[in-house]
Amino acid sequence: MTEPGPTQGAMPSPASQSSPANPAEASEFDALLNAAVDAIVVIDDDGRMLRFNQAAETMFGFSAAEALGKPLGMLMAPMDARAHQAFVERYKRTGRHNIIGLGREVLARRSDGSIFPASLSVGEAHSAKGRRFVGLMRDLTAQKEAEEEALKHREQMLHASRLTTMGEMAATIAHEINQPLSAIATYTAACQRLLDQGPEARTDIIAALREIGGQAHRAGQIIQRMRNFTRSRESLRRVVVFDDLLEEIRPLAELDARGNRVDLRIVVAPDLPMINVDGVQIQQVVLNLLRNGVDAMGEIPEAERVLTLQAAPTPEGEVRVEISDRGHGVNERVRDRLFTPFFTTKPTGMGMGLAISRSIIAAHGGKLDCSNNPDGGATFFFTLPAALEK
Ligand SMILES: Nc1ncnc2c1ncn2[C@@H]1O[C@H](COP(=O)(O)OP(=O)(O)O)[C@@H](O)[C@H]1O
Ligand SMILES: [Mg+2]
């Protein structure tokens, strides 16, 4: 079929790779194939390889001589090879195809058996010698690795930012957990005294023990919510309603507000469309904005500290969430810089909250921005597109 092993990279002889009839055209054609960065493989109607360019030799580790005449399936992972075979059979039977002209991802296989991701696009040609398919393959290994690396870095950054948010709330949370713990200590002391009073104190002791159990549960729940919010995780999108996301972080938000003497008011419209989001990331945005609102009101009298969260559908069918405070408002001179990383006006601020929040909302196809309220304070708002109907 083919002469054994022409040296790697040598121009294949016309005998080994079928070429256009005219020799000048043939060598132009070969030069073209071999100059290509992508692996190019021509196969006949039976899926046998007729051409195998230099990029294919490098990519798959087969020489042209080893590949020619063999089925294309040897360049793919077993499952994809079977799928490809079935596709070719179907195409020959029905004339219907699903990849001609389209690129798709396949798992390709090197001569040493190792598997790698590749993009494959296929073209069809009719020559005097019959039907031919031209397959172009590109090794996606480096691209995939870079994508995964970027995704991992992003997840790490989001995680670090959630830890920062919790860090900002640490004092309030510690205070909040301290309350049930002191209650437990008080009830325990009471139980000890009651025990000395003999059998008639039994009902009081039972009541005190129930109280102790309840308080321990309360402290445990606060810790559980913090753990859910701060644990390291992979990004995951699900179709949910905003209300459910909000309910999960509501206790943390209320705790933060209460600890800073802020009156938190939450108004959620009943008919919000479903959204397809990474729930924890959206919760992260909401907590960031609420935290900033709380911070912005640190200097005003306690009675005026009102923070409002409103969620409503827009006429365009999006979900719009607004977080409004009565604090010092946004200084117009720095307005554009608020959303850049590390911009902060707080002595111990990190300046990452808004930058990350905006990137999260943008990644979900929405917008995040702010404006000053006519009667003081700032409103930060974001939109999220409704989930597409399945
Ligand atoms: N609700 C708000 N009112 C006024 N200024 C705000 C508000 N939210 C954010 N800012 C301004 O934007 C800056 C950046 O916020 P952010 O990115 O969350 O970082 P940090 O909270 O660590 O400062 C804040 O330091 C503050 O100057
Ligand atoms: Mg912040």
Supply the CATH number for residue 53's domain.
3.30.450.20
Residues 6+ apart with CB under 8 A from 207: none
Give domain status of residue 5, yes or no: no
Q: Is the CB of 354 under 6 A from ligand 1?
A: yes
Q: 11 lies in a domain?
A: no
245 located within any domain? yes
- Looking at 139, 157, 179, the residue that finishes a domain is 139
Q: Is the pLDDT of residue 20 over 80?
A: no
Q: Indicate whether residue 80 lines ligand 1 (CB < 6 A).
A: no
pLDDT level of residue 83 (50, 70, 90 thresholds):
confident
Q: Is the CB of 297 under 6 A from ligand 1?
A: no
What Rg value do the Cα atoms of the chain yield, rounded?
A: 33
Q: How confident is the model at residue 282 (pLDDT cuts 50, 70, 90)?
A: very high
For the cut 80, the answer to whether the pLDDT of residue 289 exceeds it is: yes
Phi, psi of 24 (to 5 degrees): -65, -45
pLDDT at 5 over 70: no
Which atom of ligand 1 is nearest to 377's Cα? 3
Range of the domain at 219: 141-234
387 and 276 in a common domain: yes
Residue 2: inside a domain: no
Instruction: Of 323, 8, 278, give the one whose Cα is nearest residue 155.
Output: 278
Residue 219 has pLDDT above 90, yes or no: yes
**Confidence label for 9 from pLDDT (cuts 50, 70 and 90):** very low
Higher pLDDT, 93 or 301: 301
What pLDDT, on a 0 to 100 scale, did the predictor assign at position 22? 72
- 277 shares its domain with 308: yes
- Is the beta carbon of 296 within 6 A of some atom in ligand 1? yes
Identify whether 10 is part of a domain: no
- One domain for residues 268 and 381: yes
Tell how far the Cα of 292 is from the centroid of ligand 1, in angstroms: 6
* Per-residue confidence band for 116, with pLDDT thresholds at 50, 70 and 90: very high
The pLDDT confidence band at residue 12, using thresholds 50, 70 and 90, is: very low
Q: List Cβ neighbours of 264 (8 Å cut-off, separation of 6 or more).
A: 253, 254, 257, 258, 290, 307, 308, 309
Q: What is the pLDDT of residue 8?
A: 40
Q: For a ligand 1 pocket test, name from 260, 286, 322, 354 the mutation site with the most ligand atoms within 8 angstroms of its C-beta.
A: 354
* Predicted local confidence at residue 81, as pLDDT: 85
Closest Cα partner for 360 from 261, 295, 270, 283?
283
Q: State whether 86 and 34 are in the same domain.
A: yes
Q: Do 71 and 155 belong to one domain?
A: no
Beta bridge partners of 109: 115
| Backbone φ and ψ of 266, nearest 5° | -120, 125
Q: Could you tell me if 240 and 389 lie in one domain? A: yes
Mean pLDDT for 310-322 is 96
- Model pLDDT for residues 231-244, shown as the tens digit of each residue: 888 889 999 999 99
Identify which of 181, 314, 155, 168 has the alpha carbon closest to the alpha carbon of residue 235.
155
- Residue that is last in its domain, among 139, 157, 182: 139
pLDDT in tens, 146-180: 999 999 999 999 999 999 999 999 989 999 999 99
pLDDT of residue 342: 93
Last residue of a domain, one of 204, 234, 264: 234
Task: Report which bound ligand comes closest to the CA of 379.
Answer: 1
Q: 158 alpha carbon to ligand 2 midpoint, in Å? A: 13
Distance (angstroms) between ligand 1 centre and the Cα of 345 equals 7
Residues 134 and 36 in one domain: yes
Considering every ligand atom shown, identify the ligand nearest to the alpha carbon of residue 347 and give its number: 1
- Indicate whether 298 and 251 sit together in one domain: yes
**pLDDT at 27 (0 to 100):** 82
Mean pLDDT (the chain) is 89
Q: Shortest CA distance to 227 belongs to which of 171, 159, 151, 156?
A: 159
Sign of CA dihedral 110, 115, 119, 124: positive
149 and 118 in a common domain: no
pLDDT in tens, 247-275: 999 999 999 999 999 999 999 999 899 99
What pLDDT is stored for residue 42 in this prediction?
Answer: 93
Residues 201, 114 share a domain: no
Answer yes or no: is 18 within a domain: no
Q: Decide: 34 and 19 in contact? Cβ < 8 Å.
A: no
